[in-house]
A and B are shown apart, each in its own frame.
Chain A
Amino acid sequence: EDKVVQSPLSLVVHEGDTVTLNCSYEVTNFRSLLWYKQEKKAPTFLFMLTSSGIEKKSGRLSSILDKKELFSILNITATQTGDSAVYLCAVEALGSGGSNYKLTFGKGTLLTVNP
């Protein structure tokens, strides 16, 4: 069974701090790893990673994938209160039926950024 484990489960920081969120996985037929931000509603897409060692950046957020060690990190620098959310890691892999790719989500990291 595919497994995605995120750590820490929750984190409280002050504005301006830098945070690193972790995601490790065990899946067969890996295709990609995705990061999402979830506030009150459905997740919003942040990054898709398919290749090892290539950092993806978007503003203060960046992420990298290590396919040998089977993990990814999401970094947020100079955190702001608006970064407070649950950050979800998901791995896309071929489903058991063999015809569809599906996402397996981790439990998420609840990030709270205090002013």
Chain B
Amino acid sequence: GAVVSQHPSRVICKSGTSVKIECRSLDFQATTMFWYRQFPKQSLMLMATSNEGSKATYEQGVEKDKFLINHASLTLSTLTVTSAHPEDSSFYICSAGVHSGISYEQYFGPGTRLTVT
């Protein structure tokens, strides 16, 4: 089946530093990848949709200069949280979209827990 990996699984960083999270589709090519954020006891909130080779589409309220997304290849998308603050601490999950006839199926990565101190 389709497998999506994320790295790192857990990261602790200091306020003001930047953190890069990688999302890879291991056994398939994903033209579209999605980045979500999940706060404790909340649902997944879509941050941005990333298409290979083009600029990401950000959801309302998500700062594109703070959350830099690069989707340079069909198997890799990265999310960089720039100048991280404690309020950016969250669980970040990516998913990769695969066309299956009538619809996308989205396969989720295992998530990255970011803690900003």
Interface check A100, CB cutoff 8 A: yes
Q: Mask for B77-117, Cβ within 8 A of A = 1, else 0?
A: 00000000000000001000100001111111111000000
Which of B11-19, B43-51, B63-71 binds A?
Answer: B43-51
Number of A-B contacts (CB under 8 A): 54
- If over half of B's interface residues share one DSSP class (helix, strand or loop), that class is named, otherwise mixed; here it is strand
Majority-rule SS of A interface residues: strand
Q: Which of A21-61 contact B (CB under 8 A)?
A: 31-32, 36, 41-45, 48, 50
Known contacts: A50-B102, A100-B57, A104-B46. The answer to whether A42 contacts B110 by CB under 8 A is yes
Question: How many Å from the CB of B64 to the closest CB on chain A?
Answer: 14
What is the interface of chain A, defined by CB distance below 8 A to chain B? 31-32, 36, 41-45, 48, 50, 88, 90, 92, 95, 97, 100-108
